[in-house]
Every structure is written in C-alpha cells, then in structure tokens.
Amino acid sequence: MSVSEMFAALQGALGQDQDIREEIRKVVQALEQTAREILTLLQGVHQGPGFQHIPKKCQKAREHFGTVRTQMESLKTKFPADQYYRFHEHWRFVLQRLVFLAAFVVYLESETLVTREAVAEILGIEADRERGFHLDIEDYLSGVLTLASELARLAVNSVTAGDYSRPLRISTFINELDSGFRLLNLKNDSLRKRYDGLKYDVKKIEEVVYDLSIRGLNKEATVGAGEEK
C-alpha cells in the first residue's frame, strides 16, 4: 500500500468518526432541550404557590421523561455498542443533568433518594455496564450532588413561602446524603470537587434551620408535622 493509499484510508476512518459524532451531537441537543423544559417546569416549585402544585408538576415532568426515553433510544443507535466510553463525553453533561432532574422529581414525590437503578429506568437506559448503554456510577453521583444544591435553595424558599417544616426534613435528608458520600473513596477529580461543595449546601441548610430555631418556628413546624400525621 502506498503512502497516499494509507492516508486515504485514514481519512475515510476519520470521516466515519466525524459522522458518528455529528449524529450524536444532534440527539444530545434534543436531550438538552428536553432537559431545559423539565428544569423550567420544576423551577416553579420555588415560587410561593408552587408548593401547592408539586404533584401536578411532577406528573408533567414524568411525561417529559417519556420524550427522554425516546431520545435515548435514538442515541443508542448512533455509535457502536462497544464504544460507549469513546463517545461518553458527548452526553456526559446532559446525562448528569437528567439524573438530577429525575432525582428531584422523586424527592418531591416521596422525599427519598432515588436509586441508580430507578434513574436508569426513568431514562430508559441500563444500570449495568454489561448490558449496553448504561448510567455510569459517577454520572449518577454527580446528579445527586446537584440535587443537594437544589434542595439547599428549596429550604430557603420554603421559609419564604411559610413552610417551616420542609427545611427540617431537607436538613435530615442532606445530612444522610453527606454521611453516605463520606463512605466513598472518590478518586475522580471532577466528582471530588463537586462533593467538596456539598459541605456548603449542608452549612446553608443548617443556617436556615438555626434561623427557624432562634425564631421559635421550628417548634411550630414540628407541631404542624405531628398534626398532619
């Protein structure tokens, strides 16, 4: 094979690779748009009247996740199944954002932490690496850390809306989350940096709870929660 033939073959391979990346990019753009729509919908819970419409907003968000599953099915067909990590960077950010959104919906519905398996089911992908297009553990953890930041904001806005019991429940949840992360030996630099930000979320929520305490509103919240039960 001559040098020109060798480079012609290389160009062909490069062209195929570029075509794959372009096809992936188109689907990822669609996923990003759907993620923005879900985020815009859920941001409404931070407004005063939004707390009254949480069930409806969660239901609509789950309808949007139906679109996400369709788009994920399309994404799976755009690259060879055994080259997941070769192209992973193209969808890593949007996948982490979708994990956060799924986790936020589940928290709003049940005030529990969604499992990686449940998120994978919501997104229409696999939890196990061996089964193909899957939810990487680090992507799941990154999404959960974004949830912590969102809940810190929700705690502040809850007080503004006159909901004094929610910050106490958020505080308990975030502290459990922090304890869970402390069990992990994180080696990934990006994930480690994001985890370092969790302590600021914990501190922010603790300040909200402390403010409720010195104003005597935490007792009111506890009594109110007891009456609800």
pLDDT digits (tens, 9 = 90+) for 156-184: 999 988 889 999 999 999 999 999 999 99
What is the pLDDT, as a whole number, of residue 17? 83
Residues 132 and 81 sit within 8 Å (Cβ to Cβ): yes
With cut-offs at 50, 70 and 90, classify the pLDDT of residue 222: low
Same domain, 29 and 86: yes
**Mean predicted confidence (pLDDT) in 87-92:** 95
Last residue of a domain, one of 113, 135, 157: 135
Same domain, 34 and 53: yes
150 annotated to a ligand binding site: yes
Same domain, 155 and 53: no
Same domain, 152 and 126: no
What is the pLDDT, as a whole number, of residue 59? 96
Domain assignment present for 142 = yes
With cut-offs at 50, 70 and 90, classify the pLDDT of residue 210: very high
Last residue of a domain, one of 135, 166, 195: 135
Residues 164 and 209 sit within 8 Å (Cβ to Cβ): no
For residue 116, what are the CA distances in angstroms to 65, 125, 137, 227? Answer: 16, 11, 8, 34
Q: Is the pLDDT of residue 65 over 60?
A: yes
Q: Is the pLDDT of residue 189 over 90?
A: no
Domain assignment present for 162 = yes
**Residue recorded with tokens 């553990």:** 137
Same domain, 63 and 149: no
Based on the structure, what is the number of domains in the chain? 2
What is the pLDDT, as a whole number, of residue 193? 87
The range of the structural domain enclosing residue 114 comes to 1-135
**Mean predicted confidence (pLDDT) in 127-147:** 94
**Residue recorded with tokens 């372009």:** 22
Domain assignment present for 228 = no
What is the pLDDT, as a whole number, of residue 221? 54
- Report pLDDT digits (tens) over 4-36: 878 777 877 777 888 899 999 999 999 999 999
What is the pLDDT, as a whole number, of residue 223? 46
Report the C-alpha gap between 32 and 185 in whole angstroms: 31
User: Treating both helix axes as pointing N-terminal to C-terminal, what angle do 198-214 and 137-160 enclose, rounded to 10 degrees?
Assistant: 20
Domain assignment present for 131 = yes
With cut-offs at 50, 70 and 90, classify the pLDDT of residue 216: confident
Domain assignment present for 229 = no
- CA 6 to mean position of chain CA atoms: 45
